[in-house]
Amino acid sequence: MSATPIDIRQLTSQISLTEPQFDSDGQTLVWQERRGADAVLVSRQQGELADRDIDKVGDLKARVFYGGGTFTVSHGDVFYVRDGDRLSCQPLAGGPGRDVTPAHGHPAAPVVSRDGRWLVYVHTDDKTDRIAIVDTDGQLWPQSLVSGADFYMQPVWHPKGRQIAWVEWDSPNMAWDGCRLVLGTLRLVKGAAPILAARRVLAGGDDISTFQPAFSADGHWLAYASDEGGCSQLWLYDLRNDERRCLTPDDEGDVATPGWIQGLSVLSFSGDSRRLYFTRSHNASRCAYSVDLATRAIEPVSALSQYTDISYLATSPRGDEVAIVASSSVIPDRVVTLRGVRAKVEARASSENLVEADLSVGRAISWPSPLGEPVHGLLYPAVGSEGPRPLLVTIHGGPTSQDRLCFDIETQYWTSRGWSVLCVNYRGSTGYGRAYMTSLRGQWGVYDVEDAIGGARHLSDEGLADPDRLVIMGGSAGGYTVLRALTLHPGFFRAAICRYGISNLFGLARTTHKFEARYTDRLVGPLPEAADRYRERSPIYAADAIRDPLAIFQGDEDEVVTRDQSDDIVASLQARGIDHQYHVYAGEGHGWRRPETKESYIRSVESFLEQHTL
């Protein structure tokens, strides 16, 4: 029996849910919802039956890295990034708001000291990054508190207000390559902001990645994630005697997730300091666990067992309540709170009126690489169909990222229309340990292409995919893999979809933003020494080999992969008469924000697939 196709309006009306946080009283929960192109802060107080939008919050937007870390909540106020260039404050109870900092540079990841007096945050002016500090009343001029490293993320206050911890790193590393967890001691200054009196590195290094420091409410412990053992594990540092220990001494997946954005949270202490909650990735699922700090016993959070992906985790500063954003391949995103063994849904990404029988249940699969190593991916079978099906091979961006067993409405859209979808977690993806992630170093444009081809062949050999109806699709770094696959394996795919894909590695290294300015040093090699490799692996220099139908999509305000990267490929296709489509969306950047853009994109892709694969 065939599935009922998902309506395109269900796809474009999905709400994005992120960053749930409790106020300092433990009674109010705040989270962010992205509704189309607009971001809104929403709150719900304990005992209330309905949530409410927080009034008078302006353009909620953070521009450090790829965004995130847009707000924090403390003492009845929400402090948030407004217009991308200042921090503002809005009382949860309503009334007039105020600016806390002037418009200057880009702030993100604000966090308030327990006494409510001081706000530390990450700041960049696109040349220099730092951790800055300002009083929460906004009476003093913001001050640079920590500087000297190339990048910062995840600052956090000790409950006594005399120490902070943060993560920092230097180019050419990205945060997942190697970074330092630093503990700073502050000196209080009468009539002025505290200053940094001392600092020491507690963990990490050039070849060890750390992630998300968190202090216990009693001030005794500092928890964090580190991959020094080969996988990203949970570590606990005793601030009373400077001893540390690994709480998860096994190789069952990764605790950390790549720091593409600010505001990510994978661990948090309970308000009574008795338990430590964390999430961990295994076989492309990310599930929740708790550690009893007295016994060190680890248990899965059974009340959340129906979910296979938890993307944010926060705990109440009082008691033992947890808030998460959770989903599965058939459950859209929800904000869920957990108190004891009771889980309560606070918000939903959609009306959840989709029939579960019409949805595809994703599963983890693997196949051998040309070197015999396992390559990982996710398969979403076409719904209601038997035998070999047309296959969409999707390539995630990054490339340091991972497709997980979460709800993806676009994937469900295609599976409800008879397509199976293979999400390729090629060598270099995260979630499978440090060795798997670093295997892409020097091999970008090689291993990712091999693994995409290998996954499609594997499913064809297993009788699960029609070898004559294979399509490859990807955006950003995934779009680069699409273009490379077309130049290296012409004729293997019936058609291809490329969103803001990289065609010229020289151009990427020259024009991309500061955050990724040296990213290709690890993935391809440093310039100018590796110039021959850049040329050999840039699709634009092999564009004459492309002969398969190709649809290209680009935002005209993309500052990460600039429009000329797509223009140049299209010029080659036009000159040689290769069947193609080119769609440029005005006002869009690196990804689609507006519902009308998403609808236009999906309709164009669907028409293109019907034309070339039926």
- Residue 499, pLDDT > 60, answer yes
The vertex-483 CA angle with 482 and 486, nearest 5°, equals: 90
- At residue 2, the pLDDT reads 61
- Residue 350, pLDDT > 90, answer no
- At residue 173, the pLDDT reads 96
Q: Is residue 320 part of a domain?
A: no
- Look up residue 482 and give its amino acid: V
Q: Is residue 525 part of a domain?
A: yes
- At residue 57, the pLDDT reads 74
Q: What is the pLDDT of residues 515-562, one digit of tens each?
A: 999 999 999 999 999 999 999 999 999 999 999 999 999 999 998 999
Residue 61: pLDDT band (50, 70, 90) is: confident
Q: What is the pLDDT of residues 268-304, one digit of tens each?
A: 999 999 999 999 999 999 999 999 999 999 999 999 9
Close Cβ partners of 534 (under 8 Å, ≥ 6 residues apart): 505, 506, 509, 520, 524, 525, 527
Q: Is residue 316 part of a domain?
A: no
- At residue 614, the pLDDT reads 75
Q: What is the pLDDT of residues 240-266, one digit of tens each?
A: 999 999 999 877 789 999 999 999 999
- At residue 450, the pLDDT reads 98
Per-residue pLDDT averaged across 187-208, rounded? 95
Q: Is residue 224 part of a domain?
A: no
**Percent of the chain at pLDDT above 90?**
85
Residue 374: pLDDT band (50, 70, 90) is: very high
Per-residue pLDDT averaged across 457-485, rounded? 97
Q: Is residue 302 part of a domain?
A: no
- At residue 402, the pLDDT reads 96
Q: Is the dihedral angle over the CA atoms 520, 521, 523, 528 positive or is it negative? A: positive
Boundaries of domain holding 561: 360-613
- At residue 36, the pLDDT reads 83
How many domains in the chain? Answer: 1
- Residue 1, pLDDT > 60, answer no
- Residue 416, pLDDT > 60, answer yes
Q: Is residue 474 part of a domain?
A: yes
Rounded Cα distance, 209 and 212, in Å: 11
Structure tokens at 249: 């001494």
- Residue 313, pLDDT > 90, answer yes
Per-residue pLDDT averaged across 491-511, rounded? 95
Residues 61 and 84: beta-carbon distance below 8 Å: yes
Kindly report the three-state secondary structure assignment for every residue of 257-298: CCCCCECCCCEEECCCCCEEEEEEEECCEEEEEEEECCCCCE
- At residue 237, the pLDDT reads 97
Q: Is residue 414 part of a domain?
A: yes
- The H-or-E segment that residue 190 falls in is none
Q: What is the pLDDT of residues 553-603, one digit of tens each?
A: 999 999 899 999 999 999 999 999 999 999 999 999 999 989 999 999 999
Q: Is residue 423 part of a domain?
A: yes
The DSSP letter of residue 516 is: G
What is the pairing mode between strands 86-91 and 98-99? antiparallel
- At residue 453, the pLDDT reads 98
Rounded Cα distance, 112 and 58, in Å: 20
Burial 191-208 (b: 16+ CB within 10 A, else e): eebbebeebeebbbbeeb
Q: Residue 593: which CATH number?
A: 3.40.50.1820
- At residue 564, the pLDDT reads 95
- Residue 81, pLDDT > 80, answer yes
- Residue 49, pLDDT > 80, answer no
